[in-house]
Amino acid sequence: MYVPYLLTNDSAVANGNLPKFADTMYRDSEDDLWLVPTAEMAITNMHRNEILPAGSLPISYVAHTPSFRRERAAAGRDTRGMKRVHQFEKVELYKFVEPDDSPDALDDLLEQVKKLCTLLNLPYRIVQLCSGDLGFQSSKSFDVEVWAAGSQEWLEVSTCSNCVDFQARRASIRYRDESSGKPKFVHTFKWFWNGFA
């Protein structure tokens, strides 16, 4: 899908990027718009303030976008070349699921990434992030790293995250439960593949 590259302040707050990551995002202060650091920000807001019909979940979206970020890092070897850039390409898969399907959805995303690495013949490893390394929105995340022979190191190329109902609560995204008929918050998942990989 094609998503906007400029988003409103409200969109960034609903997604969880603001206020925490304001210093790593590019902003057009005159129009009060933000350049997307990730397509996830736009996709989350597609269903903002919405109650999805019963039986409509899961919903999956895929987007390919340039992403814009201010990289804040100390000078040195790890800041040169393509490791620290202000614009890069990403492919992202974003899912809305019912809470009961949440654990399986993350496992499914990880399996897709493993298959992709295997198809591309890339040596890879999966690293579960500790709570101190988790994104603001995420309750559980896994980084996928591939071996870069040229620099003799493992490089992160993908992250799979379960955001549970954090983004849904901020963006007021609910679904109508089939058994009770009452609205409940969805769970959201994000998976990206860095275009520099």
pLDDT of the chain, 197 residues: tens digit per residue: 889 999 998 998 888 877 777 888 899 999 999 888 888 889 999 999 999 999 999 999 999 988 888 876 555 555 555 566 788 888 889 999 999 999 899 999 899 889 999 999 999 999 999 998 887 788 999 999 999 998 899 998 889 999 999 999 999 999 999 999 999 999 999 888 775 44
User: What is the pTM for the complete model shown?
Assistant: 0.85
CATH number at residue 146: 3.30.930.10
- pLDDT confidence of residue 77: 55
Handedness of CA 94, 185, 136, 25 (dihedral sign): positive
Assess contact for 61 and 46: CB atoms under 8 A.
Answer: yes
In terms of residue numbers, what domain contains 179?
A: 6-194
- pLDDT confidence of residue 127: 96
Please tell me the total count of domains within the chain: 1
Residue 163 lies in a domain: yes
- pLDDT confidence of residue 115: 94
Residue 80 lies in a domain: yes
Residue 72 lies in a domain: yes
Torsion of CA 61, 169, 20, 27, to 10 degrees: 60
Residue 1 lies in a domain: no
